Chain A
Amino acid sequence: MRITIKKLTVQYTEDDHSLLALDRVNLTLAPGRITALVGESGSGKTTLGKAIMGLLPDNAKVKGEIFLDQDNLLAFDEARMTPIRWAKAAMVFQNGAANLNPVHRLKHQVAEPLIQRGTPKKQALELAETRLKAMGLARELADRYPHELSGGQVQRGLLAMGLILDPPLLILDEPTAALDAVTKSFVADVIQQCRAQNKSILLITHDLDLAGALADDIAVLYLGQVMEHLPGRDLLEHPAHPYTLALARAFPTMDAVRDLGGIRGDAFYRMVHAHAADNGHTHVHTHVAAPDAFHQGGHAPPEGCLFQPRCTQAIPACSLGSVAMEITPEGDHRVRCLRGGIAQALHFEQVTKSYGKITALYPTDLTLMAGEVFCLVGETGSGKTTLAMIAAGAVSPDQGTRFFQGRDMDLWMKKDAAALASRIGIIYQNPAESVSHRLTVFEIVAEPLRIHNTVRDESALADRVKAALSDVHLSCAPEFLKRYPHELNMGAIQRVCLARALVHEPDLLVADEPTSALDPSVQAKVLKMLLTLQIEKGVTLLFVTHNIGLARKVADRIGVMSGGRIIETGPAARIINHPAHEYTRTLIRSAQGLIRPRAPVSSSV
């Protein structure tokens, strides 16, 4: 059975406003295919499932079409929907046991749809018991009441109940949430069996592992809009939309090595409400706002890309007009992104650099995607700093071309060097040497703003400086602003440098061994702060370090350098778990070798 959803819009009416839960969603469910719906909570996933079943609450206003083969379900009334439910489309709801009636035995609830459709009671109960047994629930468990079953047993029971009438369409809402790994893999097996039986399956989940492993197609939902349609296998490896990437980065997979990164900002609700306009008419508009304070500030633009306020690669055009779904160049994804998907922040083609007779960098290609953390790892003298400084625009390459945000950096530099420089921030290895000793803290942080003349008003400048300092958890007290670097410890100076690098809100931050001069506890703090700010500001980070252990905790992707060449690039998890190059293996081995387990110190008194 084929389900075709066309321009499905669902709006929940509250007292004086509405919530837009789904916004012109198109989706097709085909027999023998698992279609997954992923997204944060509140993105409208469950609403879509309930809309197919015709089970939306009374305050839901539904537009669009849901075709079950040739029938438009949205035109059906309750009396015509009743025979379709469970026989043609069944749904396993989320939150387990709450979906079972506490006062009826499990097997009676499983058999109930059969009995209501005319199967003799005895026969129906026998079939229910057989089905429950196939789900791993013995007769004794089938006889129990819901409160006498464990979470895993309930989920198995709900699956048996959903499949009792052998429906051609199965909707599963978070079928594995709160399940242990064993039950989860059992549920995954059942879902795959359903696919083999040629059922159409809609899998609603926030478990990206499950979606990636099972789904043939995936729709990524954000605030009721589909942001990306992609093949299941690409979800974790090759997402095309920045939101999909951000979701993948936030998800704890077994082989993730870096610390989990969140997505900056919050997903708000989409409010539709009427305002009195100046001319006395009321006009109705939609905007994105926090649920508790939707009348106060923080109105995101009603127009433009919904994800734009949280996106790491937004350009001014992103907040204008509506964004349509476009097919990616590869042809297998469709993304709703003005920039055609995740953009390149930086792109090098055959870039070289030599100092006299010494070749610091052989012809090198390198690409940094917007919003990612890329680590350059290698021993001293491998060309890391040269490459980083070329990326920062501080050093010019001998040959090759550099592109920053899609523009040729050298041409850009000739035309407007200041504009380019204002988009790039740098942090150097040695904090004490990278600040002028004749400037106060305030002057150090204010300097980039003065140079680029971004803020003319002195009090606005002070505000920017204070905001930058509080971002890095430094004091904004007048006494502190008047201090000189020699009065501060190393950690504080490096934080001042971080504030300086971020004060003009750059798109790219180049950090060259930013923590190697710090002792471990200060390093841990500064790194945490750097990574938090990277997510909050949505800045692309090029992180240079000789410490692969550090890179492992920080990077989305790692590039390993040796002798002026990048010898290996890839996702951090792959580089660390399955290094391809011998040198990388040596690097990892020696990093591990440093921390040899010592013989326990005997504590004889």
Chain B
Amino acid sequence: MSEIKIEDLSKQIKGALILDKVSITLTSGKIYGLRGKNGSGKTMLMRAMAGLLIPDAGSVIINGKTLHKDISFPESIGILIENPSFLPQYTGFKNLKLLAGLTGGISDEEIRTALDRVGLDPEDKRTYRKYSLGMKQKLGIANAIMGEPDIIILDEPINALDEESVKKIKKVLLEIRDKDKLIIIACHDREELEYLSDIIYEIKDGSIVDRKEITNDNA
């Protein structure tokens, strides 16, 4: 059971207010959607939850531990923020293996499973630099879901993916959610976001302006 509690979170970058007193609580077993225009603050809110952004005011509390006070980063998290970036000279498997080595507790088998689930061949000998845009995106998702961490944050996960791959990713995300994991997604595609999400937050000018519960038959 994971919980992210955000209390009055504010952040300014170069004089511009990008997050303005955001307060939300997210719990596991659900997929949360973040919707808003470009520059509304979706990605920054995700970065703040991942421990990448240092708040000016307010706090992000993960399972009772305050980020940047009790912990530097969430203890079990997988993220894909904007364009994925990996070492170009290595294969997808090798890239994930290096990162799994840092995280600890993720076996080769789990890496292969993650790659397979997103539609990448774990035995593919091509290096990352030879990957297509869609393959790079899939590798980013595989990195976020490998080992099935308690919290998964995905910023525009279906960008550059074909229809079949989108279906596959949606299925994977719903499976992971049903294992009582907390998933947060930002997506421009309104239809896809509503299909995947249980709750959608609308963000405008760095503030949460709306919360909408979705009832659909994706379960």
Q: Do A and B come from one complex?
A: no
A interface, CB within 8 angstroms of B: none
